[in-house]
Amino acid sequence: MTSFSERLGIEPVDRTIQIEGVNKKLKTDLWNAFAEFYWSGARIHSKINLYDAYKEFHQNYETDYGNYLFVVFELWTNFFMNAVDDGPLKVGDWSKKIYKLYDNLEWNEVFDFIEFIPRHDRDLERGKEFRDYCNVILDRGFSAYRFVGDIVAPITFEQNSKEIEMAMGYSEALQPVSNHVERALKFTSDRKSPDFANSIKESISAVEAICRRIAGREDLTLGNALIKAMDILDLDPNLAESIKKAYKYTCNSGGIRHAEKEGDNIPEFEDAQFMLVFCSSIVNYLTEKARKAGIEL
């Protein structure tokens, strides 16, 4: 909602999408989200000294307070790479120390920071709520990024996040399929050095993995696994043909499933995005069809 001054044109309304940057307001709002979800719990014992805090943490490993301390210590030691002995003696003083480090982060490192926090929170529900709240802040701050699962990805993926998150969410026997999808998203979403060729390779590998699982043969190529899976599921041959062509594209395009050659068309963001969404949809479609057919995956 715009302010009185903005509505009267006294203060300009900045709705510029933040693609390669995070302005001060957005950076502060994301810190406040961290403070609200995690520092509020740690402040309960703000007077406690560092060594008593360690004792408390190990004695109350599964408690909320123990979990708050765990996240804070992980930030200090494994995100900012500091020695524990370099930290303040009082737990309540850690907030100021960590904020100073946070305030000096580059824009891409701010996203590394908010990704790191819920991954080290053993309370999975709170981690999800934190990511959801960050997405509200990112939307309000006109950021070009959102959480998709536990990865901060370009906003274009948000529109297809349900398909991608579903494909990343399989477990047990289908975990290798989900691993391919997650790696594809990470390659594309890398804010320092995106790797679109490897993203596409991982996307099509996810389809290959689910087809092998349906076929019951881990040694088959995608082409053979696809033929067998389509036969088992009695699916339209035109659909099989479209997947085959997608696989052929990954074999022909520059540097995806073979070494890059001069004159190759090098894949770009939109190519990797299309293949990730397309392959995630195919994975989910084939998985559901297999389950309805009574095939144990």
pLDDT exceeds cutoff 70 at 167:
yes
Select from 208, 173, 199 the least CA-distant residue to 256. 199
**Model confidence at 18, in pLDDT bands (50, 70, 90)?**
confident
Q: Would residue 149 count as lying in a domain?
A: no
- Is the pLDDT confidence value at 62 over 90? no
For residue 101, count other CB atoms closer than 10 A to its CB: 15
The DSSP secondary-structure symbol of 190 reads -
Do 191 and 166 have their domain in common? yes
Residue 279 lies in a domain: yes
Residue closest to 163 by CA, chosen among 43, 45, 287, 295:
287
Both tokens of 284, joined, read 């989910």
Positive or negative, the CA dihedral 236, 293, 203, 216 is negative
Which of the four pLDDT bands, split at 50, 70 and 90, describes residue 193?
confident
Return the sign of the alpha-carbon dihedral for residues 80, 81, 86, 91.
positive
**DSSP letter string over 115-140?**
HHHHHT-S-HHHHHHHHHHHHHHHHH
Note the pLDDT of residue 261: 52
Statement to judge: residues 90 and 183 lie in one domain: no
Same domain? For 166 and 127 the reply is no
Is the pLDDT at 28 greater than 90? The verdict is yes
Last residue of a domain, one of 143, 178, 195: 143
Range of the domain at 229: 156-292
CA distance 12 to 169: 43
Are 135 and 233 contained in the same domain? no
| Predicted pLDDT of residue 1 | 56
Residues β-bridged to residue 49: 90
Whether 148 is in a domain gets the answer no
**Is residue 171 located within the same domain as residue 276?**
yes
Residue 278: its pLDDT value, please? Answer: 92
pTM of the model: 0.69
What's the pLDDT score for residue 227?
85
pLDDT of amino acid 255: 46
- For 90, 130, 175, 208, the CA distances from 290, given in Å and listed in that order, are 56, 35, 16, 15
User: Which of 44-53, 109-118, 219-228 shows the highest mean pLDDT?
Assistant: 109-118
| 214 domain-assigned | yes
More confident of the two residues 86 and 213: 213
Considering the domain architecture, whether residues 16 and 120 belong to the same structural domain is answered as yes
**Tens-place pLDDT, residues 201-237:** 999 999 999 999 999 988 888 788 888 888 899 888 8
What total number of domains does the chain contain?
Answer: 2
Q: How much of the chain, in percent, has pLDDT values that exceed 90?
A: 37
Instruction: Indicate the average pLDDT of the chain.
Output: 83
Same domain flag for 200 and 113: no
- Given 143, 171, 199, the domain boundary residue is 143
